[in-house]
Amino acid sequence: MYTRGLSQANIVVSLAFGYGGLVQLLAGMWEMAVGNTFGATALSSYGGFWLAFAIVLTPGFGIGKALEVTDAEGRITDETALLNSMGLFLMGWFIFTTILLICTLRSTVAFFLLFFFLDLTFLLLGISYLVRPNGGQYVAVQKAGGLFGFLAGFAAWYNALAGLVDNSNSFFIVPVAHFPWSPTGRSRRSKTQRELA
């Protein structure tokens, strides 16, 4: 989002390798061990996304350099291949996230919003690389993608808090708003109707 004048993703590399990559990948494996297929698929896949993203951003791997065209003095003259590659990479994750978004329709509003915001993040960031009105990245769309990424991060932490707190360790419960058609929403609705009868 270019907040506080930051335009380079350098600090993201360490987080992408460590927290976003390794920790999510491990969490996905633990989810598989307890039989949560959705959690295992989502966490492992996004762990893989962050590891792949970190590899692309790490100069030692030379991926960005291999996709750039430079002149005899080493100045970048054409980034089209790099921008198109990043755009297609992010669009692939948009498609995957859309599939997971559909799977959240029977859960909670909070969980749905997490994947909805994440889906918009991938879509807008992908567009920002693929649609280049002045030859470079579409900054306004990139900033909008960053904003939805921020909202996705907030929703992820909100869902994490909702999953952690209960009557044994907290004085409050975090509301997650079950969809009326979800199993929990239907059971709560039918229980209320019986109590009224």
197, pLDDT greater than 60: no
- What three-state secondary structure class fits 71? coil
What are the respective helix, strand and coil percentages of the chain, to the nearest 5? Answer: 70, 5, 25
Run of H or E residues at 24: helix 24-33
pTM of the model: 0.86
CA dihedral 163, 166, 172, 177 (to 10 degrees): 50
pLDDT in tens, 46-93: 999 999 999 998 989 999 888 877 777 777 677 888 899 999 999 999
pLDDT in tens, 130-139: 998 876 678 8
**Contact present, 147 and 130 (Cβ < 8 Å):** no
CA dihedral 42, 45, 51, 54 (to 10 degrees): -80
CA dihedral 43, 174, 180, 191 (to 10 degrees): 130
193, pLDDT greater than 70: no
**C-alpha count within 13 angstroms, C-beta hemisphere, residue 163:** 10
